[in-house]
Amino acid sequence: MSSKLENKVAILASIIVVTHLFLLYGLPPIVFIVLLAIAVCLLIFSGGLNSVLISLSFLVVTAVLWSTIKLTGLEDSIYYRPHEKFAYFDNGLGRKTYSKNVDFEMDVPYGDLIALSKLTTVPPKPRRVIFKTDSQGNRNEHDFHGQEYALVGDSFIAGSGLSQQHTITSQLLQIYSIDTYNLAHPGDVQDYITYIKSFRKNVESDDTKFLLFLFEGNDFPKHHADTAFLAHSNEYLESMRYAMWRYYKVFSDTSIYRFIYSTSRSALALNKETQSVVVKEINGKRIAFLESYIRTTVNEELLVNPETENAVRSVADSVSHLVFIPTKYRVYYQLLSTSQSGELSDLPNKQWEYVQVLGRMFDIPTIDLTPDLSAKSAELLADGSFTYWEDDTHWNQNGVAVAAKILFEKVFANQVYPD
């Protein structure tokens, strides 16, 4: 090999190494592009040997930084709840999940609305959270052992912000002796279908039926951010995009990425997760609502999404029920009139209407949790209690108890289970 060719190979290899190292740093896109461009120019003008030395030095620095973050506990300082600490993309399972065989406790200082908006006008609701997962990374205390039903959905079913004993699968077992499997993880409809297909592939159970939960707040937009990346114009392009996304997840699920991503965006005030929150009073208590979920709730357009329909169609034969989870705003909407002048008009309910459309389309029974959640919310207000955390988008154990009761009555009550 000639010296010129060796020089070019060394520079190219150095550029590849440095590019991958930069991917580990979770930098804002514009910062990533600028720094990478500067680094590439530096490597090219440094020549073969020097470019190798520079890339190796960068590798050593990165390794030292990674070790420091892990060994000093700095990584844990960026997590306010177990979800952020343990969530990652498992390439073996081909899906988003949690770390396997976790048995962990932590004090959660506040809900996601405070974390997302730096909200200070609603008192935080600190709680002690026990967080356990099984050998598949699902939020169960024990591995799948032939349960007839698995619950599939997002963070509501996975139990974000809830201690293990308060999750819906735990309450079904503790209160009604109904043993179900929790297959939920934050995501969208496309993700839920992936969870089901991955479960079928990795767990030997062809008879399992799935309760598919759809959340009004973010499962129905026409162009959801996660699915937009995976949307395909043809099969080849879809495969390429998906492969790139899975490759990127290898970097974004590392300790160094998460730490630098979080701290850099806080320092530069570029945290794209920061969102607008609306604070209202109910019976003299302040309660927060995510503004984007309010907009979705008051939407008057019937959403028809072919991708959602195709996704549900692919697993319709094993889905026993479609269950609609309303936003916190819908549940408390009528109760807000007691703190406002005049009566509130009726809300449109296009997302629930679409769930009914899907149910008729695939002959799947549908369940709306809204009426019972609203009724229980009104009842609990007399004691100053809520079904959703005041500082969070999710329901608390009271809301979960309502959902578990509805599932027992409408899905499980008439079935015979062995002792």
Instruction: Write phi, then psi, for 249 (nearest 5 degrees).
Output: -60, -25
Least confident of 41-45, 122-126, 244-248: 244-248
Count other Cβ atoms within 10 Å, centred on residue 222: 13
Neighbouring residues of 387: CB distance < 8 A, sequence distance ≥ 6: 331, 373, 376, 377, 380, 395, 396, 398, 399, 402
Q: Alpha carbon of 126 to those of 5, 74, 273: distances in Å?
A: 61, 21, 21
pLDDT tens by residue, 33-62: 999 999 999 999 998 899 999 999 999 999
pLDDT, residue 339, reads 47
| CA distance from start to end of the chain | 75
pLDDT digits 0-9 by tens, 188-231: 999 999 999 999 888 877 789 999 999 999 998 654 334 444 44
Q: List the single range of 66-80, 241-255, 256-270, 284-298 with lowest mean pLDDT.
A: 256-270
What pLDDT sits at residue 301? 82
| DSSP 8-state assignment for residue 373 | H
Above 80 in pLDDT, residue 148? yes
Separation of alpha carbons 192 and 12, rounded Å:
40
**173 pLDDT more than 60:** yes
Tokens standing for 38?
């500067």
**Residue 222's pLDDT is what?**
54
Q: Where does the pLDDT of residue 161 fall: very low under 50, low under 70, confident under 90, or very high at 90 and above?
A: very high
7-28 in b/e form (b: 16+ CB < 10 A) is eeebbeebbebbeebbbbbbbe
Q: What's the pTM value of the predicted model, to 2 decimals?
A: 0.82
What's the pLDDT score for residue 266?
A: 59
Q: What pLDDT score was predicted for residue 177?
A: 96
What pLDDT band is residue 2 in, cutting at 50, 70 and 90? confident
Please say whether the beta carbons of 258 and 78 come within 8 A. Answer: yes
User: Of 107 and 307, which is predicted with more confidence?
Assistant: 107
Is 198 within 8 Å of 92 (Cβ atoms)? no
Instruction: Give the C-alpha separation, 173 to 169, whole Å.
Output: 6
Task: Give yes or no for a contact between 396 and 387, defined as CB atoms under 8 angstroms apart.
Answer: yes
Distance from C-alpha of 294 to C-alpha of 393, rounded to nearest angstrom: 11
% of the chain residues with pLDDT over 90: 61
Query: What is the C-alpha to C-alpha distance for residues 142 and 150, in angstroms, rounded to an integer?
Result: 13
Question: 28: Cβ–Cβ under 8 A, 6 or more apart, which residues?
Answer: 264, 265, 268, 270
